[in-house]
Amino acid sequence: MIESIAHIRSSDETIQTIEEHLMGVKELAEQYGEKIGIKHIAGLAGMLHDLGKYTSAFTNYIKLAVYHPEEAPSRGSVDHSTAGGKLLYEYLHRKENTAFEKILAEVVGNAIISHHSYLHDYLHPTSIDSPFLSRVRDKEIEEFPQAKHNFFRNVISEKKFLVYIESALDELFIFLRKSKQENLEFTIMFLTKFVFSCLIDADRTNTRQFVEGITKNNKSKTLHDELFKKYYEHLSKRLLDFKHKKDADSKINQLRKQMSIQCEKAAYKPSNIYTLSIPTGGGKTLASFRYALKHALKYDKERIIYIVPYTTIIEQNAQDIREMIQDDVHLLEHHSNVMDWKTVNDGDFYEDEKLKKLMLAKDNWDSPIIFTTMVQFLNVFYNDSSQNIRRLHNLANSVIIFDEVQKVPLHTVSLFNHAVNFLHQFAQSSILLCTATQPALNHVKHHIEMEENNEIIKNLPHISKAFERVEIIDRATSEQFDNEKLLKFVCEELDVKDSVLVVLNTKNVVRDLYKKLNEQDLCDVSIYHLSTSMCAAHRKDILRQVKKDLKNNKKVICISTQLIEAGVDISFDSVIRSLAGLDSIAQAAGRCNRHGEKAIRQVYVIDHIEENLDKLIEIKKGKEITKKILIDIKRNSSAHGGNLLSPEAMEFYFLQLYNEFRYELDYPINELGTNLSKLLGSPLEKNPSLKRYVEKHQEKYSLLLGNSYRTAAEYFEVIENHTTTVLVPYEKGKDYIAKFNSFEYIEDLTKLLKESQHYTVNLYEQEIEELKMKQQIESLQDGVVLVLHEGAYDKDYGVNIKGDSSLDFSLI
């Protein structure tokens, strides 16, 4: 008789039986799946995922791994994840089974066999094999009959199991009936990924609970309800306090108040996809949060999630909300993945205590309020890391606010639209698309399914006119600038203005201008530099000092890349913006005279000839379209609404941009001669690999699905030039670097992962290689965490590839 062992707790050698683990994971997976009506589908994955542990091979493996690790087989050498998928295939994928039964076997079976890696391809686009079939149909498992016997004896009877499958089939029928026929494959893809998310999180959560000795499942929904009520009380008090401020009756603040009230009224409408087009500086953060809280309370939503384009926006907006709700514990800022999860995805982790802690650390977005980036959001759906997809189920039944939604990377537009449609149509989430410059996401081939008249703010043209605080000065169509000429222009502006913000397109040109300014004899002028080469904590410190100087009416020059353009509540007397996409220019203009505190101020658009945009194709093309609009307005003052920032100009810009990149919107994969959308959502009959499979294998293809989930995920990158997160030694970053070598408990690691994000920078592969050559970077935890040496981080520029920094931060 095989001993039933799922896990052995290292602290006291207590055994968790296989049946305890399977039923525990089933219960959690059911809880997660119930949010979108797939309780039994998700529960089926949980119940079967570790069926293969009912073998003597696994029992011997785990005993050796725990008691005699020096004799244990290599990690992942004992396959225990195939058996559950194989059982489903045997029961539901015979010739006489219905299409729904076969789809259930393929969807749930894929989640099961993949729970220690990533979802398998049904058809691989180049090898023309079926990785899925090779596991569930072709792979021989020596003790498979014994494993099935033990499962039906110890976990659930065969009769009850078949009844459970019937419930899952009912759910599948109802779920797929919601889908349009042309979107069916995408619907099944998202269903598979949702089931996979439920399984991954349930498996790791149950294991974590066992390791920590927690006996009850942590159901957080009741806590979230109570917190949202408390937060709304704090918000109401804050709104009352606004009425008593000295400038409460100013024109700008009265407009902000009107739009905030409209947001609360809109919260009573049913969950849907809405646009919120509040002008820059119009109080979008407060107004959208007011909508989110009221809607969450009205419609029983579980969490509020802010998705932003840049980490800089997270820092400020999260702080605004944190101060408003007076709660730091239940607000999660997720800037980046501190650890490289791809290095720990494959295989099992029983024999490695450190690896176990990394895998089980709670990083699943179960907080009631979350701030994260567009990169992290898209990675949840499309990246090949199980740690990312683990979070997907927590996006369901939520209020999701996309701040500055115009910044969706062009090559991910179709994928973004598909994800948003799924969250609304199937996952009961309410979506808010926020920006002063709405992109034309409903005018592309794979468009967002928005209803007409979905804009929350009424009478937008009037409000936009009332919010005018700047004038755009076109210096891009008549002259060109280099940094020498720009330096003189900045100094000229500073003679008549107190503060100047310069926003350029490339980090190198920004650094050069900053260096040139510091070489000038500019008495009593504070000169600042901002860059993504700095960690979030560093940028936050600089912005704090800039705001302090501005408040004290000191002379200030700030040189920055586009990171300052969105979500940073800061106001300069003059802004100089290098020619770029129209949305970027509009965002830069939002940093000028932001609160209308002065008369109309100037935003200068220049053409900078020293910027090399050859690798920044989107910026380059955006620059060309914006320049065309400027030329049109110069020739005809009424063209495009007569204003570079008009709604007419913005609509023209995005339609032109999306048309220029129409082949890019579906995420092309040139190496495969296809695109990501086709790999994920093409019907089987349109799959070119189908015919080649039949010819190669001389057999009929037996599956109903033929999509390539793993291949698509392996090719997916939000930022096309792959970057890696590196922990830097800026102030507290030194302490976090030390702690990553000494963590003991999973809770400690969870906290460490959360806090250390503020001290990370994303570097390109070539930058990391150069730092390695100079011995300025090293890896911790077997390569899972990369850390920078002190000599490679600079107080002025952030990451210093030369490695000659003194790291003297006394001036900040």
C-alpha dihedral over 567, 572, 577, 580, to 10 degrees? 20
456-492 pLDDT, tens digit each: 998 877 787 778 889 999 999 999 999 999 999 999 9
Residue 345 has what pLDDT? 46
494 near 500, Cβ under 8 Å? yes
Q: Which fold has domain 465-660?
A: Rossmann fold (3.40.50)
Q: Cα–Cα distance between 318 and 403 in angstroms, integer?
A: 12
Sheet with 499-503, side-by-side order of all strands? 470-474, 601-606, 574-578, 499-503, 555-560, 525-530
Amino acid at 451: E
Provide the CATH number for the domain formed by 7-212 in this structure.
Answer: 1.10.3210
411-455 pLDDT, tens digit each: 999 999 999 999 999 999 999 999 888 888 888 889 999 888 899
Q: Is the dihedral of CA 336, 339, 340, 346 positive or negative?
A: negative
201 — alpha (psi -120 to 50), left (phi > 0) or beta?
alpha
Say whether pLDDT at 376 is over 60.
Answer: yes
Say whether pLDDT at 216 is over 80.
Answer: no
Say whether pLDDT at 782 is over 60.
Answer: yes
The mean pLDDT of 384-389, rounded to a whole number, is 88
Q: Cα–Cα distance between 691 and 594 in angstroms, integer?
A: 60
Share of the chain above pLDDT 90, in %: 61
- Higher-confidence residue: 360 or 701? 701
Delimit the domains of the chain by residue range: 7-212, 221-452, 465-660, 668-702, 723-799
419 near 453, Cβ under 8 Å? no
Strand partners, 602: 471, 574
Say whether pLDDT at 750 is over 70.
Answer: no
Say whether pLDDT at 602 is over 70.
Answer: yes
Nearest-CA neighbor of 274 among 293, 297, 292? 292
Residue 346 has what pLDDT? 42
Residue 51 has what pLDDT? 96
Say whether pLDDT at 242 is over 80.
Answer: no
Residue 805 has what pLDDT? 43
Share of the chain above pLDDT 70, in %: 91
Residue 696 has what pLDDT? 95
Strand partners, 276: 434
**How many residues can be counted in the chain?**
812
Residue 721 has what pLDDT? 58
Residues 6+ apart with CB under 8 A from 423: 395, 396, 400, 429, 431
765 near 722, Cβ under 8 Å? yes
Task: Tell me which H or E stretch contains 41.
Answer: helix 39-48
Residue 739 has what pLDDT? 82
Two structure tokens written together for 281? 């500086």
Amino acid at 188: I
Q: Cα–Cα distance between 512 and 201 in angstroms, integer?
A: 47
Q: Which range, 536-550, 558-572, 797-811, has the best average confidence (pLDDT)?
A: 536-550
The Cβ-side half-sphere exposure at 25, using a 13 Å CA radius, reads 33
Say whether pLDDT at 335 is over 80.
Answer: no
Q: Which range, 1-10, 62-71, 110-119, 583-592, has the best average confidence (pLDDT)?
A: 110-119
24 near 17, Cβ under 8 Å? no
DSSP states of 469-520: -EEEEE-TTT--B-HHHHHHHHHHHHHH-SEEEEE-S-HHHHHHHHHHHHTS
Say whether pLDDT at 386 is over 50.
Answer: yes
Nearest-CA neighbor of 678 among 13, 5, 125? 125
Provide the CATH number for the domain formed by 221-452 in this structure.
Answer: 3.40.50.300
656-715 pLDDT, tens digit each: 999 999 999 999 999 999 999 999 999 999 999 999 999 999 999 999 999 999 999 999
- Higher-confidence residue: 356 or 323? 323
Q: Cα–Cα distance between 603 and 331 in angstroms, integer?
A: 36
Specify the pTM.
Answer: 0.86
Q: Do the domains at 221-452 and 465-660 have one common CATH topology?
A: yes
Q: Cα–Cα distance between 490 and 743 in angstroms, integer?
A: 49
Q: Cα–Cα distance between 347 and 341 in angstroms, integer?
A: 13
153 near 162, Cβ under 8 Å? no
Residue 156 has what pLDDT? 97
Q: Which residue has the tokens 């690790």?
A: 69
If 0-12 CB within 10 Å is exposed, 13-18 middle and 19+ buried, where does residue 388 land? buried
Nearest-CA neighbor of 587 among 728, 405, 425? 405
| 499-503 vs 7-8, strand pairing mode | unpaired
Mapped onto helix, strand or coil, the DSSP state of residue 349 is coil
Residue 629 has what pLDDT? 96
Q: What value does the mean pLDDT of the chain take?
A: 88
Residue 282 has what pLDDT? 80
Cα 676 from chain centroid (whole Å): 18
pLDDT range class, residue 256, cuts 50, 70, 90:
confident
DSSP states of 508-575: HHHHHHHHHHHTS--TTEEEEEE-TTS-HHHHHHHHHHHHHHHHTT-EEEEEE-GGGSSS----BSEE
pLDDT range class, residue 206, cuts 50, 70, 90:
very high
Other residues' Cβ atoms within 10 Å of the Cβ of residue 751: 15
The mean pLDDT of 603-631, rounded to a whole number, is 95
598 near 499, Cβ under 8 Å? no
pLDDT range class, residue 810, cuts 50, 70, 90:
very low
Mapped onto helix, strand or coil, the DSSP state of residue 705 is coil
Say whether pLDDT at 251 is over 80.
Answer: no
